[in-house]
A and B are shown apart, each in its own frame.
Chain A
Amino acid sequence: MTESIKENSSSISKTNSDPIVEYKNVHKSFGDVEVLKGLDLDIYPGEKVALIGPSGSGKTTIIRMLMTLEQPTSGEIIVDGKNLWHMEKNGKLVPASEHHLREVRGDIGMVFQHFNLFPHMTILQNCMTAPIHVKKEGKETARKRSIEMLEKVGLGDKLDNYPSQLSGGQKQRVAMARALVMRPKIMLFDEVTSALDPELVGEVLEVIRDIAKEGEMAMVLVTHEMDFALEVADRVIFLDDGVIAEQGAPSEVLEESDNERLQQFLYRFRS
């Protein structure tokens, strides 16, 4: 029942609005190894997409290119109508300048596998830095919003702690608050539970679930948590050997697909 509602809502958003992210024939090679072999992918506003696949299938590369941490070898990525890696200059497309990248990536936030908190700052400072220096918010506003966000992820009592004083799960929740306080339209999650002790995974997934319920933001999750993908995602994409091998509603992909590679992949997870 809930699944059919989910499918409906995602199909409505697809017909009613333009994609917020478009990958057009994107290739990416590292040296001689081609990791992505012509990716075409549209992501819609508010859509929750789970990327699954064996390691080396290119799923992390997909979101790292969107965050401008990797440059595609060829092809285009368009964010909210703006070309991410290229810009127009005298009527020609040329590689994007740092200035252009900063304009376009303002809508995107990311959470990393290894948290990447700033160790020399308290967790409150971790959250306040970008609002103050990037959004040019006043210190008091930034402080207030950061505290609200940290309370939301359940860390309101740790404001003045340093990252080294927190558990992995807490660190990852800080990292999410730090990204959310910038109010991105698209949030990227790069295997955010993979570096955590098993008993800490739940608290992090809980926060993601809450964010997902609010609905506004598009979310792309690279994950190995199949049950979680089934629960939260509108669409699951299975990547294999640099291409999209299967995609659709979570139940279709995870339970009904007859793609052999996908079967093998899921089998390894469930065993």
Chain B
Amino acid sequence: MINAIIEVFPVLMKGINITITVFILSTIFSYLFAFIAGLCRVSNNKLVRAGTSVYVEIFRGTSLIVQLFWLYYAIPMLFDVGIDNRLMAGVLAISLNYGAYMSEIVRGSILAVDKGQTEASIALNLSRAQRMRIVIFPQALRMMLPEFGNYLIQILKATSLVSLIGMTDILYHGNILRSTNLSAAPTVYLLLLVFYFIMALPLIFLTRKGEQISKRGVAS
């Protein structure tokens, strides 16, 4: 067993860079999309709201794997231009999908801030943008933190899908090893679980932290 682990471990390590790169980029863009879409959903402009909810419902309502295949295989073929870069396709698919989910958290948190806060900032004659930036958003952000932490962990696990478009992440390397050495399967998949779990640990810790900040933040 120890020998098997010693054999498998360095192979999986070859993919760790890709996994972490995809994870970090996907996280950044997921949050970006979530904030943009979340703010659009509370916009005063009907068209903006409607357009954004079409995006959100399509990406929430369909499978992430199919979205990934669309971006990587179908769209380049249909439009000739597009994404022949695996990293870009992978990150974009994950970010658009999780951005859609998380935009609902952004929207819900903004709407959950007490109406009196808006009224007080109108009474102080803050502009619309200032009301959001200075008063509403900082309070909403505290409410978002716990859920955002949960999604962070989900994004990490979703990065494994990029192996399906040929990206050489840890799962990809594990699968290659197993196909050449069938008896290694248990060790490979055990180690993969351990890899994901260890990477998730700091995220779990962050989520806890987020929950604490959230609890402490908004009591009036």
Contacts and interface: CB of A to CB of B under 8 A. Distances in A.
A112 B134 contact: no
Interface string A93-107: 000001000100110
In terms of DSSP, what is the predominant structure of the interface of chain B?
A: helix
Given A118-B117, A118-B120, A163 B125 contact: no
Contacts of A116: 114, 116-117, 119-120
Contact of B119 (A69, A119, A164, A179): A69
Contacts of B116: 112, 114, 116
B120, B127, B138: residue with the most chain A Cβ atoms closer than 10 Å: B120
A133 B220 contact: no
Given A98-B128, A102-B127, A119 B218 contact: yes
Contacts of A178: 124
A120 interface: yes
A67 interface: yes
A130 B122 CA distance: 10
Interface residues of B, number: 23
Interface in B109-124: 114, 116-117, 119-124
Contacts of A182: 124-125
B10 interface: no
A219 interface: no
Contacts of A129: 124, 126, 134-135
B86 interface: no
Contacts of A115: 220
A68 B117 contact: no
A72 B123 CA distance: 17
Contact of B123 (A98, A109, A118): A109
Interface string A176-201: 00110010000000000000000000
Contacts of A118: 117, 120-121, 135, 139
Contact of B122 (A69, A114, A117): A69
B137 to A, nearest CB: 10
Contacts of B123: 67, 69, 105, 108-110, 112, 179
B217 A120 contact: yes
A118 B123 CA distance: 13
A194 to B, nearest CB: 14
Nearest to B119: A69
B124, B127, B219, B220: residue with the most chain A Cβ atoms closer than 10 Å: B124
A134 B135 CA distance: 13
A133 B134 CA distance: 9
A110, A112, A116, A175: residue with the most chain B Cβ atoms closer than 10 Å: A116
Nearest to B131: A133
B142 interface: yes
Contacts of B119: 67, 69, 112, 116
B21 interface: no
Contacts of A110: 123
Interface string A128-141: 01100110000000
Contacts of A130: 124-126
A109 B139 CA distance: 23
Contacts of A119: 139, 217-220
Nearest to B44: A98
A119 B121 CA distance: 13
Interface of B: 114, 116-117, 119-128, 130, 134-135, 138-139, 142, 217-220
Given A116-B114, A133-B130, 4 more contacts: A69-B119, A69-B122, A98-B127, A120-B138
